Amino acid sequence: MSIKIRMRGKSKGGVAEVKALIKHKMESGARMNKKTGKPYPAEFINNVEVLVNGTKAIESQWSGAVSANPYMGVMVKANKGDEVTLNLTDNTGAKGTETIKLK
């Protein structure tokens, strides 16, 4: 399964605001299925990387505490025309990546 990402970004004065909407269920593994009494398996994004022109600008670790279909916004040093890439990995090994050119 791949993680779907919608992303946009705009640079002003050497600083870019990058926004991303991530489609992922972010299941913590603590919620129980009422019919079977068994927990839903954990499935959450645990590694997030933001790269500017191939150089890592931000790296963060997430957990099951993040809501489903998370919205993410970050500020990075970048200029108009630079490429910003968002790489995601979840605890099951699913990956997602999206690259945009800043306006």
Domain boundaries, the chain: 4-30+38-101
Tell the burial category of 34 from Cβ atoms under 10 Å away from its Cβ (0-12, 13-18, 19+): exposed
Domain 4-30+38-101 CATH superfamily:
Immunoglobulins (2.60.40.10)
pTM above 0.75, yes or no: yes
Q: Cα-flanking dihedrals φ and ψ of residue 46, to 5°?
A: -120, -10
Q: How many CB atoms lie within 10 A of CB 71?
A: 10
Among candidate residues 25, 8, 26, the one with its CA nearest the CA of residue 17: 8
pLDDT tens series, the chain, 103 aa: 689 999 999 999 999 999 999 999 999 989 999 999 999 999 999 999 999 999 999 999 999 899 999 999 999 999 999 999 999 999 999 999 999 999 9
Separation of alpha carbons 77 and 23, rounded Å: 26
Task: Quote the DSSP letter at residue 39.
Answer: B
